[in-house]
Amino acid sequence: MYPTLNLTCGDSNLSSPEAQRLLELCHRPVKVAIISALGVMITVGNIAVLLVIASSVAGWSRNSRYFLLSLTAADSAFGLLVMPLNLWVSLMKDYNEGPDALCHIVAFCNATVYSTCMYTLATISLERFLAVFYPLRYSSLMTRRRTLLLIAFSWCFPPFLLLPISFPDGIIEVHFSTASLVCNPAYATNAGYSLTLTCLIFFPCSILMTYANMRLWVAAKRQRLKLRKYDGGRRSRPDVASRVLVPVMTAYYTCWTPCMAAMIYNAISGSSVPEWVEFVVVWLPTSNGFLNCIFYFWINRSFRRKFRLIFQRLCLALCPGLARTLGCCTNPQALFVLGILDNNNSLQERSSSVSSTCTLYTLAGDLHI
């Protein structure tokens, strides 16, 4: 299946293409282990998130839950679709073969999931921007129909835009990379298409996210300075804006920018980046699927409270004896009452747009971004 070379992984003079390919194959077990561990983290984290936001969470409106469910589904696709497909191809495909139909389908799935995640992050930033700066018009601006249309756009526009990748005999050439263990379009031979995708996906989403979150951060800092002035200069509460908005944008650009930069470099220069650099920049965006669980959910106090409640219910339902031994479910009646009170938040959902503004400008609690 693989070329037979009189070389070993420890050889120092590996300059020929065949020897370089052998070296990449020697590194494959380490890469598979890294990808598998990352996939498990993403899947477990997003399943926990899904269990919580599938039910009502105090302070989260119906629209917010729809957008966050969309984000969770897109992030889960990294661990449930992208990683298994590429690992399967890396184990089954003969690296001497040229492009095939399977690799085109896998590359199409990869690009679609990546693009859907970016569009979903952008729509979340847009929804929060409208909720905070236009609270009185939020209900008319973000109706249920418009919310679902935005989510549908995030999921349907990328496959339409990336459809040429799926055709084996089409204009887009696709290869399996032994360096990154991914089926990817050959950006060096499809420079125009690669630059077009970057301009239609990464840059618009990044500009929208940066503008919306920067406006929120500036407004929060300005209001916080006013509160500190009236409070005698004391800083009694943590800076929620910096604790949430800054990590969200930092994680986004850290995970996505190297991949986009490598894509543009390959398209313009016609040459590829070094092996491990390619591996890191290709798989780094998937780690954003795990970081989103932290910055969008676990920082939120209402989410953590609801997760503990659901975990206690599961413990009591599945392993009552072990739950009582561990002391995590000592009062079933109290849990039942808490569940009723926690789910009875229709008034909070109807007033979520106003509460979002109060949350940001008073900085009295978690910022639901």
In a domain, 210, yes or no: yes
Question: What CATH number does the domain containing 31 carry?
Answer: 1.20.1070.10
SS (H, E, C) 293-347: HHHHHHCCHHHHHHHHHHHHHHHHHHCHHHHHHHCCCCCHHHHHHHHHHHHCCHH
Copy the structure tokens of residue 227.
């509160």
Which of 140-154, 237-251, 310-324, 339-353 is least confident? 339-353
Question: Tens digits of per-residue pLDDT, 342-368?
Answer: 444 443 443 444 344 444 434 333 444
Q: Which residue has the tokens 């789910």?
A: 343
In a domain, 369, yes or no: no
In a domain, 311, yes or no: yes
Q: List residues bridging with 177 in a β-sheet.
A: 182
The rounded Cα 104 to chain-centroid distance in angstroms is 23
The mean pLDDT of 156-181, rounded to a whole number, is 85
Question: Tens digits of per-residue pLDDT, 119-137?
Answer: 999 999 999 899 888 888 8
In a domain, 194, yes or no: yes
Q: Name the percent of the chain lying above pLDDT 90.
A: 23
Rounded Cα–Cα distance for residues 295 and 306 (Å): 16
Asked whether residue 323 carries a pLDDT value surpassing 90, the answer given is: no
In a domain, 10, yes or no: no
Question: Tens digits of per-residue pLDDT, 262-286?
Answer: 888 887 877 778 888 889 999 999 9
Query: Which of 8, 1, 37, 38 is CA-nearest to residue 288?
Result: 38
Which of 62-66, 220-224, 302-306, 362-366 is least confident? 362-366
pLDDT for res 291: 86
> Is the pTM higher than 0.95?
no
Could you tell me the residue range of the domain that residue 312 belongs to? Answer: 25-362
Rounded Cα–Cα distance for residues 201 and 228 (Å): 40
In a domain, 343, yes or no: yes
Copy the structure tokens of residue 308.
């503990």
Copy the structure tokens of residue 237.
């509460």
pLDDT for res 207: 94
Residue predicted with more confidence, 23 or 160: 160
In a domain, 11, yes or no: no
CB 74, CB 120: distance < 8 Å: yes
The mean pLDDT of 95-122, rounded to a whole number, is 84
Question: Tens digits of per-residue pLDDT, 41-68?
Answer: 999 888 888 888 777 666 677 888 889 8
pLDDT for res 95: 55
pLDDT for res 267: 78
CB 25, CB 7: distance < 8 Å: no
In a domain, 329, yes or no: yes
Copy the structure tokens of residue 276.
């491990």
Domain count, the chain: 1
CB 162, CB 171: distance < 8 Å: no
H helix and E strand count, the chain? 16, 2
